[in-house]
Amino acid sequence: MAVIYKIFGFPKELFVLPALVLYILNSVSGIVYLFTPIIPGVKFILNFKKEIFNDLICEIDNDEQNVEKLMPYSITELNYAIDWLNIKIQRLKLRINDFFGEKTAILSIIGLAYSAIQGFGGLNKLGDTISKGLFNSGTTNTLIVFGLFFLLGLSLGALALKNVANNLQYLKEMLELAKKIKQQNNE
């Protein structure tokens, strides 16, 4: 509109109302854009108890469906599967604990990474090394950055193994639940 006003020299009064309307539309759309993501969050908070119960009911329904799939198996087969899962879970937990410990794995990784970065010369030097290119910044810097990447890879691998162990734990719980229901039905 400003270009048309300048080029053709129309009277200023013709452009005041459309400019004001566009300004108001722009302001209102910006406010709507900012508040739109907040509305579902507020709705969730207001219905928190109901949402939690709905999630719990869905989880129970899912677990019951999984247990129903296990009902054709005998108690002996279920016991064997539970024992096998116990062994797998133990192996995974031992593998994770060998590298990172049990409870403080994430904190120790963060502390180790922080001390390694400080020994490297701080975040500024690390940023310079990465921006120049790993192979253009000297052998020592390259080895230190590769060491940090190796540490990151180990920690991500440990997190992935913990996720696998948690999945196996869930499967074990489903087997135990199926076994319990089968034993109750036999009595």
Per-residue pLDDT of 85-137, as tens digits, reads 999 999 988 887 776 665 555 666 666 676 777 676 776 776 776 677 666 76
What's the confidence (pLDDT) of residue 90? 92
Cβ neighbours of 181 (radius 10 Å): 15
Give the mean model confidence (pLDDT) for residues 4-29. 80
The pLDDT of residue 55 is 92
**Per-residue pLDDT tens over the stretch 60-89:** 999 999 999 999 999 999 999 999 999 999
Residue 25 vs residue 15, higher pLDDT: 25
State the pTM of this model.
0.59
Domain boundaries, the chain: 74-187
pLDDT of the residue at 5: 63
- Minimal CA–CA distance to 134: which of 122, 154, 155, 148? 148
Chain-centroid distance, C-alpha 57: 23
* Exposure letters 59-96 (e unless 16+ CB within 10 A, then b): eeeeeeebbeebeeeeeeebeebbeebeebbeebbeeb
What is residue 16's predicted lDDT score, i.e. its pLDDT? 78
Cα 187 to Cα 181: distance, rounded to the nearest angstrom: 10
What is the pLDDT at residue 186? Answer: 80
Q: What is the pLDDT of residues 149-173, one digit of tens each?
A: 787 787 778 788 889 999 999 999 9
Q: What average pLDDT is seen over the chain?
A: 82
Cβ pair 179, 82 in contact under 8 A: yes
